[in-house]
Amino acid sequence: MTVQIRPVELKQSVRDFKMLIDGTWTAGAEGRVIERTAPSHGVVVSRYQAATKVDAERAIAAARKAFDEGPWPNMTAGERSNILLKAADLIAARLDEIAYLDAIEAGKPISQCKGEIGGAVDIWRYAASLARTLYGESYNNLGEGTMGVVLREPIGVVSIITPWNFPFLIVAQKLPFALAAGCTAVVKPSELTSGSTLVLGEILMEAGVPEGVVNIIVGTGPDVGSVMTSHPDVDMVSFTGSTGVGKLTMASAAQHLKKVSLELGGKNPQIVFPDANLDDFIDAAVFGAYFNAGECCNAGSRLILHTDIASDVIARIAELSKKVKVGDPLDPTTQVGAIITPQHLEKISGYVSGASSGGATVAFGGGTLDLGMGQYMTPTILSGVTRDMAVAREEVFGPVLSVLTFETTAEAIQIANSTDYGLSAGVWSQNFDTCMTIGRKVRAGTIWMNTFMDGTPELPFGGFRQSGLGRELGKHAVEDYTEMKTLNMHIGRRTGWWMPR
């Protein structure tokens, strides 16, 4: 592990943001602000207007009116698609600005942020294409006097709630698909990382999205999120975050039986067999564990290694971990940036110390880093982990790799399925039968075979069990924001109870 100590100079002073409601940038009803301290530099970098219940209700009312009375749901698919494509172009034009905001607010490496914004551009363009391919069904085989048409109509007002770990990328997995379907939205980014989403509001207005179609407010879950999930004028909730808050979101939405889409936690295994290409796997293991400082629902946080190769693999991962560069997110060579908050760093450290006291071995790292600014964690490998340990079952959300071992394929599958989660998994073997057996038997939404954490907009993303409900991305993503309506049409006079047949 290498450490970058000297901080890169911040490009700008504190940036002040307002919230977007009904096409207007406005202050909050109470005039309160939220200040964001950069986790990498320890200084305030952004101020947001703090929304309250009143502001959330204003935003929902604007979205409701824009859906019920505005032009957006009634535009042609081509018109909506063209606006989404223009938005994608504008995002690309402001890529450096958006990436900088995500880097300083989330502590993410700037090079990684630029890649994520580029990926978001691709998603917006893909969503634009789906706007023009959304269609219903027709049935003319129901008899001489009957024809059926099934319509797909936009579901209505969507509350979109996104987390701090991928501020711009995750909103791109939701909002453009809702817009492509003809919905209107209220968006609440995390109060820790709201800057890039507020810039997106500027972009959407410039692209031609009508007033009230997209409203963006910043606030806490109790102040704002609870209103967005329970309000009767909201038709659907799309939430990404922790499983615990996801359960609260679902319970709140149940008051009015709203449709709910949840992308929640993960405890994702990589299962490695002796015949695997270990050179490729070692790189994927380090990437999967430390990417985004491990603050990723898809992190490959569990290694399930065959006992014949476990010692060698652990040693090789530790050796490569020494080369991982931890430091200032604004340095383009940094690979692992800062931890989001001091409280979260303390939580991660607690998992490591708990595992160590419970019998696991710290094979690499294990401590925090004092770089004279912000909060950082060393990449960490824990060997000798057993299934009953919290670090093997719970989402640590930090750069911590837990290593377990197996002897048979059946045992590997059992270990992989032994948590409450089922978001993703990986299998490494050059035997096709082995990969397919793992792929069929492990209960997860995505199974990577001889790779890890690859993805494109065309492939659906989501989890089994307590990793969530529904899927994002893929060709059906727009359909998730629609309702189906049947038109049952009769030709000629109807015959009935009291009419002659």
List residues with catalytic annotation.
263, 297
Furthest C-alpha separation in the chain: 91
Residue owning tokens 């970098």: 45
Q: Which two tokens stand for residue 102?
A: 């995500």
Q: Are 424 and 463 in contact (CB under 8 A)?
A: yes
45 φ/ψ angles, rounded to the nearest 5 degrees: -120, -20
Phi, psi of 118 (to 5 degrees): -60, -40
- Alpha-carbon torsion angle 390, 394, 396, 401, nearest 10: 70
- Residue 326 is encoded by which pair of tokens? 């931890």
Q: DSSP for 410-474?
A: HHHHHHHTSSS--SEEEEE-S-HHHHHHHHHHS--SEEEESS-S---TTS-B--SGGGEES-BSS
Q: Are 252 and 229 in contact (CB under 8 A)?
A: yes
Alpha-carbon distance of 486 to 37, in angstroms, equals 52
Matching residue, tokens 């958006």: 98
> How does strand 368-369 pair with strand 361-364?
unpaired
Q: DSSP character for 394?
A: S
The answer to whether the beta carbons of residues 217 and 224 sit under 8 Å apart is yes
Strand partners, 54: none
Give the containing element (helix H, strand E) for 15.
strand 15-17
Closest of 444, 446, 467, 465 to residue 456, by C-alpha:
446
Specify the DSSP element, H or E, that contains 46. Answer: strand 44-49
Asked if 35 contacts 15 with a C-beta cutoff of 8 angstroms, the reply is no
Structure-block tokens of residue 257: 């039986």
